[in-house]
Amino acid sequence: MENKLYVGNLSYTTSESDLQALFSKAGSVKSVTLIKDRDTGRSKGFAFVEMETQAEAQKAISMFNGTELGERTLTVNMARPREERSGGGFGGRGSQRPGGRSRGRD
C-alpha cells in the first residue's frame, strides 16, 4: 500500500495510458486505476497509480505534485487506506415519515 499514489484534479479526458506514460518518468509503474462513474463510465477526475518501490513513489510525488497535465494542476500524494463503510443510515429505504403522509401536495 505504501507505493500507491492518489492522483487528483485530472481532466475528464485523461486516460490510464496518459498516466502510465507520465509516471513512468519517475520509475516502474506497477498499475494505473482511473476511477470512473459506475453509471456513465466517465472519469471522476482522479486515479490511483502504484509504483514498484516506495522510493519511486516519493520521486513521483516530488516530480508531479503541482504540475500541469491537460491544463489541470495535479494533486499527487500517498493514497490513504480505504476506510470501512459502516452500515448506518436508513438501509437504502429512504426516510419515511411517521403517519404515512407524503411531503408533496395533494
Q: Which domains does the chain have, with CATH numbers?
A: 4-78 (3.30.70.330)
Q: 21: left (phi > 0), else alpha (psi -120 to 50), else beta? A: alpha
pLDDT in tens, 71-94: 999 999 999 987 766 655 555 555
pLDDT at residue 15 above 60? yes
pLDDT at 16 (0 to 100): 97
pLDDT at 100 (0 to 100): 56
Give the rounded distance of the alpha carbon of 74 from its chain centre.
12
**Contact present, 10 and 74 (Cβ < 8 Å):** yes
What DSSP designation does 21 have?
A: H
pLDDT at 71 (0 to 100): 92
pLDDT in tens, 18-54: 999 999 999 999 999 999 999 999 999 999 999 999 9
pLDDT at residue 10 above 90? yes
**Contact present, 11 and 69 (Cβ < 8 Å):** yes
Cell of 62: 516530488
**pTM, rounded to two decimals:** 0.76
**Contact present, 9 and 67 (Cβ < 8 Å):** no
Q: Distance (Å, rounded) from C-alpha 37 to C-alpha 10? A: 14
Average pLDDT over residues 2-25: 96
Residue of 44, 36, 38 lying closest to 11 (CA atoms):
44
